[in-house]
Structure 1
Amino acid sequence: MPTSVMIVDDHEVVRRGIADMVDAAGDLRVVAEAGSVADAVRRGTLTRPEVALVDLQLPDGTGIEVIRRLADESSDTRCVVLTSFDDDDALASAIEVGARAYVLKTVRGAEIVDVVRAVAAGRVLLDERSLTRRRAAHEDPTSALTPSERRVLELVAEGLTNRDIAERLGVAEKTVKNHVTSMLSKMGLQRRTQAVAWVAGQRSTTWR
């Protein structure tokens, strides 16, 4: 069955172009289109797409709000930011709300399709150019982690729960919870999904 996709962009020509390209892929199918935050939330809730391509600037809000509200309504929808803005703050906000990828509209159409497929398969991708600039501009957030916290970070990035990590390391679940709390604090993060996205970004050198 084709992967269901929703396109969120307030420019109809752009939206239709992306939709035609996605539909042409064969293994992907556009099930909804929206040009505003309200439409995106309403249609996303009704259709529950597997992947949503979301523009950042919308007439009644931002793509960040769309991603946050879709997460509240349907945790199964994986969101990809598709934007013209190569902006560090926007990238950070996208990561914070759980976006799986941050893609610039300057990429080739085939790359957008590749990203949708990868995100549908469970991968977390980020725009390498933006990540490279952020890594150059900011100190390594893992520099203050203890060896135990680094190991926990690796296991969190693999998708393991605290219980799974405790069993893997042979320690108490409470100990793992403490490590996770300390790790996130030292890295300046608030949620596990942000840590997963950060690790994925460090490992990713290409979308393909």
Structure 2
Amino acid sequence: MIVDDHEIVRRGIAEIVDRADGLTVVAEAGSVAETLRRAPLVRPEVVLIDLQLPDGTGIDIIQALRESLPQARPVVLTSFDDDDALAAALQAGAKAYLLKTVRGAEIADVIKAVAAGRTLLDDRTVMRRRADHEDPTADLTPSERKVLELIGDGMSNREIGERLGVAEKTVKNHITSLLSKMGLQRRTQVAAWVAGQRASGWRTS
């Protein structure tokens, strides 16, 4: 399913997708409301979403689909080359974040990969997220590494505490420590960093 408020953009993407083997466009939408109306009717496997829409944002759609259509895998396709937008999209549950400068053939490849269960970022975004250090996790304790991975899995502090068998306050302490060691400021930046590294095959263990 393609979500963009510019019809000419939707048509161009639809042509690329329909030409690719194994892919079919099942619906188009130009707003948040239209998307949330149509998606449950066609039950798409992948939803290609622009971030800027007339009645809200792509983040609104990703969050709503997470509840109403969890099997739909969101892919952001946007002109916003912005760390905060990237972090917000990944935190909401986006499985890929692509800029509209991407080549047409790459869009089809990413859709197929996301449908197969992968989380991807485009090369420029992955390189930017690597920052200046080869491994900013080098000084993390084993517990902090586990928390880092679970943040990357989209878990809340409470869920991480339950998984690790520790108090939520302990989880918050681990997050404060790992943020400081990695040179980050917010939890959403951690989620974005992990997603970027996983796209290139990185694991903490």
Q: Please tell me the TM-score bracket, short chain as reference.
A: 0.7 to 0.9
Q: Secondary structure at the match of 1:136?
A: coil
Aligned positions of 1:140-151 closer than 5 A: 142=137, 145-151=140-146
Deviations 1:11-62 (A, max 9, x none): 1111011112111113011111000010011111222211000001111111
Distance 1:121 1:130, change over 3 A: same
Letter in 1 for 2:46: V
- 152 and 63 in structure 1: CA distance in 2 versus 1, 3 angstrom threshold: closer
3-state SS in 1 of match to 2:165: helix
**Compared with structure 1, are the counterparts of its residues 137 and 91 closer, same or farther at alpha carbon in structure 2 (3 Å cutoff)?**
farther
2:94 aligned with 1:99: yes
Match 1:85 to one of 73, 80, 98: 80
Confirm or deny: 8 A CA contact 2:96 2:119 kept in the other structure. yes
- Cα deviation for residue 134 of structure 1 reads 3.8
Q: Name the SS for the 1:99 alignment partner.
A: coil
Shift of 1:152: 6.1
Separation in 2 of the partners of 1:158 and 1:13?
35
Q: Is the 8 A contact 1:145 1:183 kept in 2?
A: no
1:174 aligns with 2:165: yes
Residues 1:49 and 2:44 aligned together: yes
In structure 1, what residue type is equivalent to 2:165? K
Which of 186, 189, 203 is equivalent to 2:187? 189
Q: What percent identity do the matched residue pairs reach?
A: 62
2:25 maps to 1:30: yes
Structure 2, unpaired ranges of 5+: 155-162, 180-185
Match of 2:120 among 125, 138, 161: 125
For these two proteins, the number of residue pairs brought into alignment is 188
Find the counterpart in structure 2 of residue 40 from structure 1: 35
The superposition leaves residues 185-206 of structure 1 with CA deviations (integer Å, 9 ceiling, x where unpaired) of 544427xxx74x6434114349
CA distance in 1, matches of 2:35, 2:136: 34
Does the 8 Å CA contact 2:73/2:114 hold for their aligned counterparts?
Answer: yes
Separation of aligned partners in 2, 1:156 and 1:67: 18
Partner of 1:111: 106
The TM-score, its normalising length taken from structure 2, stands at: 0.76
1:190-205 mapped onto 2 (5 Å cutoff): 195=191, 198-205=193-200
What is the identity, as a one-letter code, of the residue corresponding to 1:23? D
CA RMSD of aligned residues (A): 3.3
8 Å contact kept, 1:68–1:97: yes
Distance in 1 between residues matched to 2:133 and 2:83, nearest whole Å: 11
Equivalent-residue separation in structure 1 for 2:198 and 2:187 (angstroms): 18
Going from structure 1 to structure 2, the CA distance change for 1:144 and 1:51 (only over 3 Å counts) comes to same
> What are structure 1's unaligned runs of at least 5 residues?
1-5, 160-171
Structure 2: how far apart are the matches of 1:189 and 1:158?
12
Q: 1:151 to 1:69 in 2, by over 3 A?
A: closer
